[in-house]
């Protein structure tokens, strides 16, 4: 029996002659956090809007919990939720009033306690009676997150939810997400431009570019697709000896100063390279290996250098 | 078609909170109708002194009943505009609330506001101008109100459909179109006053028959104008069916064009 709670097959979205989402297929397993990455205009937000039912797909099939989205929309929407830094709640009414409204719409039982618990966690209890439009961007995002957790969703779709949060609250938000995943097996589809966030919380990453999935892997698996790494050495001896050796070995290198060099090579060759350099008599005082990050993958994908294998 | 009262209650609570905190809404549903009625009350008092009191009473009642249309359609279309202005509409649309529940909630809200307006206006008219709106008979008032609400719902759905489809650039329609329709529905004068071609248009509007019935009832309050109500109801049913079709078509087109995302982008 499949453990996938979101299943998307051959999803297409055309706006006239422009194809925003181009035949994408993916699944999201229960209890996993899947990051949705890609450059601006890659189709991430359009896909999320289709998954939420506020934009219609041109073609394709979507199911949540094994049920067809088009035929069980109300049932499914009651079990999922959405948070974004880009949409807000009703500005003319207070934070508490907004949360009461959504508690009724989601039929939250014991909503007063639920709201109180969440506002305590997100440290917004002092602004409970403030009008929503008077809040700062970071405070609004926190209230949006509370709204998105009111109905105890089994699946949470998040579109850059930490975009305007200060580092402390962003960290708390990520910690809460990790906690929710652990305690309640929460499934998340998460878009962000913050690569360290994605690396920290995501089990899988889907890279979109020009509406297509160009890579779908674990964060580690994706970084391993970039085979090159950088070796940064600080040494005591004459620069000329090392420069001659690196030139002789046909390696790419850059001297930062007289005693610091960065060498670009394949990750698996680094131990051998360090050994070879030491054999030249160079005394290395510091060795730093810079492995490829998700950001490097992102940049390479944006430039069209990495493709789904 | 199932209806969940909790979800409808959620929207009504939001409407209540917005109304409490927005001077604009209070102005639109209490202050502006109130001042208009005072103006027409004074005019009616003046006319009652120099002409037949029935003319004065018809004018005042016509204006009062017209506000039922204004308030119900306003509630349906402007209720959603509040959420669009706050970039909250997509938050509402991704909840389990159905389109039917959504429209019902705003319709209930409009009806409640209309009841508040009629009740307060009835007191005002009775105390200040000594006109009693119930002189027309409860049954007649009920039938007028029913037909006018039905027309207002249809009109509100068309406006809301246009707002969903074209966004805030046509938001002025929400409060700007009805004053154009008003002269054609013969609120303040008989249809016979209108030029010939406009009379044809007037007879295509369900409220026209209500206001014609009103003028007939001012002269004879105990006779229900069934023929006029039947025509009004018949037209209202056609209007309602067309408005529902139009609203759903606009809603689906907006989803297809990604308009809901753009409304908040």
Q: Inter-axis angle of helices B226-257 and B206-219, to 10 degrees? A: 150
Same domain, A203 and A91: yes
Q: Are residues A139 and A270 in the same domain?
A: no
Whether chain B has a CB inside 8 Å of the CB on A90: the answer is yes
Task: Please report which residue ranges of A84-232 form alpha helices under DSSP H.
Answer: 95-105, 111-121, 137-149, 167-184, 195-201, 219-224
Q: How many Å apart are CA B213 and CA B228, to the nearest integer?
A: 6
8 Å CB contact between B3 and B100 = yes
Taking a C-beta distance cutoff of 8 angstroms, is the pair B228, B208 a contact? no
Query: Which H or E run contains A244?
Result: helix A239-248
Q: Residue A107: closest CA among chain B residues belongs to which residue? A: B6
Residues 9 to 28 of A: which have CB under 8 A from any B CB?
Answer: 15, 20
Q: With contact defined as beta carbons under 8 Å apart, do A189 and A5 qualify?
A: no
Other CB atoms within 10 A of residue A12 CB: 16
Same domain for A124 and A271? Answer: no
Which residues from A are below 8 Å from B265, CB to CB? 86
Residues A38 and A78 in one domain: yes
Question: What is the three-class DSSP state of B183?
Answer: helix
Pairing of strands A228-235, A260-266: antiparallel
Same domain, A47 and A104: yes
Per-residue pLDDT tens over the stretch B207-245: 999 999 998 988 887 788 899 999 999 999 999 999 999
Strands A155-159 and A187-191: parallel
C-alpha A299/C-alpha A209 separation (Å) is 11
CA pair distance B6, A13, nearest whole angstrom? 34
Q: To which H or E segment does residue A82 belong?
A: strand A80-84
What are residue A215's DSSP bridge partners? Answer: A207
- Cβ of B260 under 8 Å from any chain A Cβ? yes
A204 plus A252 within the same structural domain = no
CATH number at residue A140: 3.40.50.300
Q: Are residues A209 and A268 in the same domain?
A: no
**Structure confidence at residue A309 (pLDDT):** 44
Chain B residue nearest residue A53, CA to CA: B94
Token duo for residue B237: 């049913």
For residue B122, what pLDDT is reported? 85
Domain that holds residue A66: 4-218
Closest by Cα among B168, B170, B149, B150 to B242:
B150
Whether residue A81 is found in the same domain as residue A162: yes
Total domain count, chain B: 1
Q: How many domains does chain A contain in total? A: 2
- pLDDT value at position A2? 64
Q: For residues A28 and A189, is the Cβ–Cβ distance under 8 A?
A: yes
pTM: 0.84
Cα B25 to chain centroid, rounded = 15
Q: Among the residues of A9-155, which ranges form H helices?
A: 44-52, 73-77, 95-105, 111-121, 137-149
Residues A276 and A166 in one domain: no
> B81: which residues sit within 8 A by CB, 6+ positions away?
B163, B168, B171, B174
ipTM above 0.90, yes or no: no
pLDDT at B264: 60
Closest to A148 in 3D by CA, of A87, A228, A223, A219: A87
Asked if the Cβ–Cβ distance from A91 to B85 is below 8 Å, we say yes
Tell me the C-alpha distance between A41 and A25, whole Å. 18
Q: Which domain holds residue B159?
A: 5-263
C-alpha distances out from residue B80 to B111, B159, B160, B263, Å: 16, 11, 8, 12
- Read off the tokens for A222: 């994706």
CATH for A253? 3.30.70.120
Does B96 touch chain A if contact means CB atoms closer than 8 Å?
yes
Averaged over successive runs of 10 residues, the pLDDT of chain B (265 residues) comes to 87 93 82 83 78 80 91 90 89 93 94 88 83 85 93 95 89 85 90 90 95 89 88 97 96 91 66
Q: For A289, phi and psi rounded to 5 degrees?
A: -105, 120
pLDDT of residue A142: 85
Q: What is the pLDDT of residue B1?
A: 63
Q: Is the residue at A307 inside a domain? A: no
**CA angle (A198 as vertex; A47, A153 as ends), nearest 5:** 60
Q: Is B93 an interface residue toward A (CB < 8 Å)?
A: yes
Tally of CB atoms within 10 A around A53: 20
Residues A245 and A200 in one domain: no
Q: How far is A191 from chain B (nearest CA, A)?
A: 16
Contacts of A132 in chain B (CB under 8 A): 86
| Intervals of chain A under pLDDT 50 | 309
């Amino acid at each position: 029996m499949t453990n996938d709670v979101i299943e998307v097959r051959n999803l297409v979205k055309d706006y006239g002659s422009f194809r925003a989402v181009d035949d994408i297929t993916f699944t999201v397993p229960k209890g996993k956090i899947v990051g949705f990455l890609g450059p601006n205009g890659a189709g991430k937000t359009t896909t999320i809007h289709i998954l939420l039912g506020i934009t219609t797909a041109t073609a394709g099939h979507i199911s949540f919990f094994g049920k067809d989205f088009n035929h069980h929309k109300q049932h499914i929407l009651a079990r999922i939720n959405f948070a974004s830094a880009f949409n807000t709640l009703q500005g003319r009414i207070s934070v508490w009033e907004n949360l009461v409204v959504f508690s009724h719409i989601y039929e939250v039982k014991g909503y007063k306690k639920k709201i109180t618990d969440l506002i305590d966690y997100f440290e917004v209890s002092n602004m409970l009676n403030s009008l929503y439009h008077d809040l700062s961007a970071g405070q609004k995002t926190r209230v949006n997150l509370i709204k998105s957790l009111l109905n105890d969703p089994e699946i949470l779709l998040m579109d850059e939810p930490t975009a305007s949060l200060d580092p402390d609250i962003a960290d708390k938000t990520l910690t809460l997400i990790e906690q929710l995943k652990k305690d309640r097996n929460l499934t998340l589809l998460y878009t962000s431009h913050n690569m360290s966030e994605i690396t920290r919380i995501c089990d899988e990453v889907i890279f979109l570019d020009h509406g297509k999935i160009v890579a779908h892997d674990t964060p580690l698996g994706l970084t391993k697709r970039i085979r090159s790494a950088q070796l940064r050495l600080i040494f005591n001896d004459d620069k000329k000896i090392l420069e001659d050796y690196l030139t002789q070995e046909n390696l790419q290198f850059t001297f930062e100063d007289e005693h610091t060099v960065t060498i670009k090579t394949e990750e698996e060759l680094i131990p051998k390279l360090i050994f070879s350099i030491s054999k030249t008599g160079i005394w290395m005082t510091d060795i730093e290996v810079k492995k490829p990050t998700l950001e490097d993958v992102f940049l390479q994908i944006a430039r069209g250098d990495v493709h789904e294998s | 078609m199932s209806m969940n009262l909790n979800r409808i209650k959620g929207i009504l609570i939001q409407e209540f909170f917005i109304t409490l905190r927005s001077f604009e809404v209070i102005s639109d549903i209490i202050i502006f109708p109130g001042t208009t009625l005072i103006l027409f009350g004074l005019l009616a008092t003046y006319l009652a002194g120099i002409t037949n009191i029935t003319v004065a009473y018809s004018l005042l009642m016509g204006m009062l009943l017209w506000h039922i249309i204004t308030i119900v359609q306003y509630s349906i279309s402007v209720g959603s505009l509040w959420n669009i202005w706050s970039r909250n509409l997509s938050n509402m649309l991704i909840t389990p609330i159905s389109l039917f529940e959504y429209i019902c909630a705003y319709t209930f809200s409009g009806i409640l506001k209309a009841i508040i307006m009629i009740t307060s206006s009835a007191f005002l008219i009775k105390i200040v101008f000594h006109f009693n709106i119930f002189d027309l008979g409860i049954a007649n008032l009920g039938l007028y109100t029913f037909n006018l609400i039905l027309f207002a719902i249809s009109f509100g759905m068309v406006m809301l459909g246009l707002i969903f489809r074209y966004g805030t650039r046509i938001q002025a329609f929400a409060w700007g179109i009805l004053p154009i329709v008003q002269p054609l529905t013969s609120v303040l004068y008989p249809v016979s006053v209108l030029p010939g071609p406009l009379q044809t248009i007037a007879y295509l509007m369900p409220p026209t028959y209500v206001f014609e019935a009103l003028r007939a009832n001012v002269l004879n309050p105990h006779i229900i104008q069934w023929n006029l109500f039947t025509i009004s109801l018949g037209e209202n049913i056609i209007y309602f069916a067309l408005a529902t079709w139009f609203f759903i078509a606009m809603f689906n087109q907006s989803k297809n064009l990604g308009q809901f995302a753009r409304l908040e982008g």
